Amino acid sequence: MNEKSPSVRTEAYTEWLPDLSLPISVNYEDPQPAVSPHHHSFDELVVVLSGTATHTTNDQTYVVKAGDVFVIKRGRVHDYQKPKGFAVANVMFDAKKLDMDHWDTRELPGYHVLFSLEPALRDRHQFRSRLTVEGAKFTRISEWVSELAAVTSGKEPGYRIEARGLFMLLVIMLSKCYSDAPKSNTDTTDLLRLGDAVAYIESNYPEKISNDHLARLAHMTVRTFQRTFLQSMGMTPSEYILQVRLRNAAHLLKESDFPLTRIALECGFSDSSYFGRTFRRAMGVTPSDYRKKTVDPFA
């Protein structure tokens, strides 16, 4: 599907995330009518509450049904057609503004499957690896979404932190639901094994990590693992490891007064000189200058 096509509508960021102090909002559609092709500059967590519809994304069409939960990544063209008793809750969020790169949910394999791997490999798996939640867990998820909608619209004192907390609860539960998904689905199993490798990097980035070890976690040959990782994550395993190290180093520079040598070693760099060169090449400033720029002037 060509995003430049005049038939593709661009959803305005401020229309759906109008509260500049809170990059989360919830939109209920019950019933959800047919929706023409569109895309937006934020991510969307879709919870199908009832009924069925066809969902088209990247020219691939799938049937979605009650209990399905999936993520629409920013910029991805999608639509809904042929709704039958179809109702959804759309949780719209800006992952960057929520600083989700630093949430420890990144140590959960299911987190990476839900938010990165399944959306990237959806066409290959023909949506067979989507998350479907049932029973008491689905009831709880639906209740949290409803509460999140009430909090974000009510804007009572403390609503921002309450909304973030509810969204975090949703992310944690859905990530665990994915990790606990039945292993009878080969596509889901493959994604979870790949998620194991990504989560291993997130938990062990200060250590030396080999492609051989990651490939074993993913139950793939090294060549297949490297190819699949690049396709799903948009970078090689080595590039991702470096990104995680730099991300955590930047966080420590901002949030701690640790000396640069300690930060370098804790984030997997062999020495502070190598850390400084690598950080500057990636960030455009030295670690010291980055720290100065992010110091709170009111602290």
Quick check: 199 pLDDT over 80?
yes
Question: Does 181 lie in the same domain as 281?
Answer: no
Quick check: 297 pLDDT over 60?
no
CATH of the domain at 149: 2.60.120.280
Question: Does 70 lie in the same domain as 176?
Answer: yes
Quick check: 102 pLDDT over 80?
yes
| Confidence band of 2 (pLDDT split at 50, 70, 90) | very low
Question: Does 167 lie in the same domain as 244?
Answer: no
> pLDDT at position 58, please?
78
Q: Is 244 contained in some domain? A: yes
> Cα dist. 180→66, 83, 155, 170, 184 in Å?
19, 29, 35, 15, 12
Question: Does 248 lie in the same domain as 109?
Answer: no
Q: Is 81 contained in some domain? A: yes
Question: Does 145 lie in the same domain as 274?
Answer: no
179 alpha-carbon distance from chain centroid: 15
Where is the domain boundary, 118, 153, 186?
186
Long-range contact set of residues 237-246: C-beta below 8 Å, sequence gap at least 24: 237/197, 237/201, 237/209, 237/211, 238/211, 240/198, 240/201, 241/201, 241/205, 241/209, 241/268, 242/278, 242/282, 244/201, 244/202, 244/205, 245/205, 245/206, 245/269, 246/278, 246/279, 246/282, 246/283
> Cα dist. 191→56, 117, 178 in Å?
21, 7, 10
> What is the mean pLDDT of the segment spanning 188-199?
92
Q: Which residues of 164-187 are buried (b: 16+ CB within 10 A; e: fewer)?
A: bebbeebbbbbbbbbbebeeebeb
pTM to 2 decimals? 0.88
Taken in order 30, 35, 41, 46, the sign of the CA dihedral is positive
Question: Does 268 lie in the same domain as 175?
Answer: no
Question: Does 140 lie in the same domain as 265?
Answer: no
Place of tokens 């500049």: 20
Quick check: 299 pLDDT over 60?
no
> pLDDT at position 269, please?
96
Q: Is 59 contained in some domain? A: yes
Question: Does 247 lie in the same domain as 166?
Answer: no
> pLDDT at position 34, please?
93
Q: Is 223 contained in some domain? A: no
Q: Is 277 contained in some domain? A: yes
Q: Is 235 contained in some domain? A: no
pLDDT single digits (tens) 227-275: 999 999 999 999 999 999 999 999 999 999 999 999 999 999 999 999 9
CATH of the domain at 275: 1.10.10.60
| Confidence band of 125 (pLDDT split at 50, 70, 90) | confident
Closest C-alpha among 176, 43, 39 to residue 98 = 43
Q: Is 231 contained in some domain? A: no
Where is the domain boundary, 145, 165, 186?
186
The C-alpha angle 55, 11, 169, rounded to 5 degrees, equals 70
Residue 220 contacts by C-beta under 8 Å, 6 or more apart in sequence?
Answer: 193, 194, 228
Taken in order 102, 108, 109, 113, the sign of the CA dihedral is negative
Question: Does 68 lie in the same domain as 155?
Answer: yes
Q: Is 279 contained in some domain? A: yes
> pLDDT at position 182, please?
72
Strands 78-93, 35-40: pairing is antiparallel
Quick check: 5 pLDDT over 70?
no
Q: How high is the mean pLDDT of the chain? A: 92
Question: Does 105 lie in the same domain as 28?
Answer: yes
| Confidence band of 1 (pLDDT split at 50, 70, 90) | very low
Quick check: 183 pLDDT over 80?
no
Where is the domain boundary, 165, 186, 207?
186
Domain tally, the chain: 2
Question: Does 128 lie in the same domain as 32?
Answer: yes
Quick check: 4 pLDDT over 80?
no
Question: Does 157 lie in the same domain as 87?
Answer: yes
| Confidence band of 126 (pLDDT split at 50, 70, 90) | confident
**Can you give the residue range of the structural domain that contains 288?**
240-294
| Residue with more model confidence, 184 or 266 | 266
